[in-house]
Amino acid sequence: MSTHASADVHHHEGHDPYLAHHFEDRAQQDEAHSLGLWVFLSTEIMFFGGLFLAFTVYHVLFPEAFGLASSRLSVSWGVINTIVLLVSSFTMAMGVHSAQVGSRKLLLTFLSITLLCAGAFMVIKGIEWTEKYHHHLIPGASFHFDLNDPTAPETQLANWGERREAILIADPHVERHAQMFYVMYFCLTGLHGIHVLIGMGLITWMILRAKRNEFNTRWNTPIELTGLYWHLVDVIWIYLFPLIYLIHRH
């Protein structure tokens, strides 16, 4: 079934310090790494997928409750966070670019901006979560969702009385089901937040390694992989944003 290549194939030219012993050459190693990361990202998609599925099912089951609950989120914070995250994605891409062209200074700058944006994102999330706390929108014993709350945006509507009746006919337990929205909201943004934190950790690590001058035009795979991961975090937010903030604004 097989023959063996002559010995010199194995003991090939010099030794590349960036080449692990079990790979034949850099091309093989790099491709293995990038394929590996992509395969990992696909597991991430399925991981979030489970939650997205739960969100969708409950959205289908309780459209009114989800609409009402969603409209109590702050769109402006959502928009700001989207922009922050998109910018961070851009700076990350620029960071990878700087690494590829071998500019350590730019690499450090872009990575730092990315890290800052990520931090800002988390701070804003923190603000939003605190707001929810003050409005008793944290699921659990203290949860309180009231269709008659005069401060809620929907109760400002002109025809609210009518709408309220219609909603209650459609879903008499709408106040209870609103909690499900917040459960999903916290699960999704929480899990996403954990990913942002992991990303921040990775970026910090990359900054430290870049400071130690570990990367150059020949060796920047870790930066690329971190970048891929970070973009995925962004992509997930791109879906989360309309799904949780915008489902019922019209």
Considering only residues 55 through 114, tell me which ones interact with other proteins, judged by CB under 8 A: 56-58, 60-62, 65, 75, 79, 82-83, 86-87, 89-90, 92-94, 97, 100-101
Q: Which of 9, 15, 105, 212 binds other proteins (CB under 8 A)?
A: 9
Q: How far is the CB of 45 from other proteins (least distance, A)?
A: 4
Cβ atoms within 10 Å of 63's Cβ, excluding its own: 17
Binding of other proteins by 7 (CB under 8 A): yes
State which of residues 1, 14, 134, 151 lies at the interface with other proteins (CB under 8 A): 1
CB of 111 to other proteins, least distance (A): 15
CB of residue 113 vs other proteins: minimum separation in angstroms? Answer: 13
Taking CA atoms, 82 is separated from 100, 121, 156, 161, 208, in Å, by 27, 9, 27, 34, 27
Q: In the stretch 153-172, what mask flags binding to other proteins with x, by CB under 8 A? A: ----------------xxxx
C-beta pairs of 111-115 under 8 Å, 24+ apart in sequence: 111/203, 111/206, 111/207, 111/210, 112/207, 113/87, 113/88, 114/88, 114/203, 114/230, 115/200, 115/203, 115/204, 115/207
Among 16, 19, 41, 112, binds other proteins (CB under 8 A): 41
Which of 15, 21 has the CB closer to other proteins? Answer: 21
Q: Can you tell me the distance from the alpha carbon of 49 to that of 45, in angstroms, rounded to the nearest whole number?
A: 6
Contact with other proteins (CB under 8 A) among 13, 14, 105, 141: 141
Under a CB-based contact definition with an 8 Å cutoff, are residues 111 and 95 in contact?
A: yes
